[in-house]
Amino acid sequence: MSELKIKVNQLTRVEGHGNIHLEATDGKLDRVLWEVTESPRFFEWMLKGRNYDDVSTISSRICGICSISHTTASLQATESAFGVKLTEQAWLLRKLLYNAEMLESHVLHVLFLIAPDFLGADSVIPLVATHGDIIVMAVRLKKLAYNLADILAGRKTHPITPIVGGWSKLPDIDELKAIRERLEKAMEDMDTMVAVVKSVAPMIPDFQRPTEYIALKDSKEYSFITGKIASSDGGTFPLEDYKQITNEFCVPHSSAKFAKHKRDSYMVGALSRFNLNSEQLLPKAKKAAKELGIKAPIHNPFFISVAQTVETVHAMEDAINIIDKLLARGLHEEEVKVKPRAGRGVGIVEAPRGILIHDYTYDESGNIVSANCIIPTGQNHLSIQKDFDALAPTILDKPEDEIRHTLEMLVRAYDPCISCSVH
């Protein structure tokens, strides 16, 4: 009798802590498990009793990578509760800031965390010697994204200028013009990034598991921060009805809740957005998708990073377009009027890793009575487990190191933010 036991404690090149367990006997799978071991952080309790002025600043600390996503979801939940409407200028600035986070996060995942899997390295550090030009380009792109966020939000992470109903400080016109020139020039880097991903695409594991894909959908654009919740299995849902989708529940081996909808799991993130909204990508992003040879629907989770590459091009193109609109219309100081009232508001955005939900109930003074935050990775944990269940039996004839590495690659493909998922 032959036994195979694989145990990966604290998987590397992901945010947070998660473990992989696999046991097989005589070539047959006994069990494979995705285990989340992070301690809960109780952010919802931290928000209770806090005034609306403090809420987005506190909730942005849920994540250092997705702080703009948490800020935006938080602001939109509060604006929904108080009936606050944004001006066109405020929306443009919010969307522009959001593109900065998409750029930074996707470049981090594709070129720093995923690339070593395909270029024969354990981390990005050895790639400095073997693929120096690519790493320098990746650093250049991350710096550009951080600088764009800094111009708009007053700092590179954990924004301070976006407030309920608008902005406390507008960006400088000359700085917008300068960053636009850098974005235009960086489109050449986008061509290189697409070429790099295309060159390793034949090495992506051949694995298919169709599932339900959930993302925001807006009839007007490839949506990151507007629209309704949509399912690839059919139907759209108002933001306030998100619990019809998430249906969170607890499992013994995870400190994060799991979620499912119509099937035994669903996926959120770049691949879900691509599968539901690819027709609304901007022209250069569509060209990138064609160059990479992808077309919706895609049922291979290892292609999440390919979809992220397409979205990186889209975010760059969209950022340039938005700056052009802002420069054409001019920036104008706008008075922000907010009148707190008792009630509930839900804000939902597409964080780089998928749908992010903030749900607040306020009292008449504008203080939080209750809060609920549902994180993208929390919604993807069950999809990872179901992928394990389907993939593991098909690779048991491979060498142990290859089995371990393939399972590690699968988790990394989801770009998980594990510590955020236990919120």
User: What does the DSSP assignment read for 317-354?
Assistant: HHHHHHHHHHHHH------------SEEEEEEEEETTE
Q: Given this model, what pLDDT does residue 40 score?
A: 87
Q: Given this model, what pLDDT does residue 311 score?
A: 98
Q: Is the dihedral of CA 345, 104, 96, 280 positive or negative?
A: negative
- 299-332 burial, b at 16+ Cβ within 10 Å, e below that, comes to ebbbbbbbbbbbbbbbbbbbbbebbeebeeeebe
- 178-198 burial, b at 16+ Cβ within 10 Å, e below that, comes to ebbeebeebeebbeebbebbe
From the centroid of its chain, how far is CA 153?
Answer: 19
- With CA atoms as reference, report the closest residue to 300 among 342, 278, 271: 271
Edge-to-edge strand list for the sheet holding 368-374? 343-351, 354-362, 368-374
> Strand locations in 101-232, DSSP E?
162-163, 166-167, 212-217, 228-231
Model confidence band, residue 358 (pLDDT cutoffs 50, 70, 90)? very high
298: tokens are: 């895609």
DSSP 8-state class, residue 225: S
176: tokens are: 């917008």
List, for residues 30-88, the tens digit of each pLDDT value.
Answer: 999 999 999 888 999 999 999 999 999 999 999 989 999 999 999 999 999 999 999 99
For residue 361, pLDDT over 80 is answered with: yes
70: tokens are: 């948490």
**With contact defined as beta carbons under 8 Å apart, do 123 and 13 qualify?**
yes
Considering the chain, what percentage of its residues have pLDDT values greater than 70? Answer: 100
> Strand locations in 189-333, DSSP E?
212-217, 228-231, 236-237, 266-267
Model confidence band, residue 323 (pLDDT cutoffs 50, 70, 90)? very high
Considering the chain, what percentage of its residues have pLDDT values greater than 90? Answer: 97
Weakest mean pLDDT among 19-23, 155-159, 197-201: 155-159
Is pTM, for the whole model, over 0.85? yes
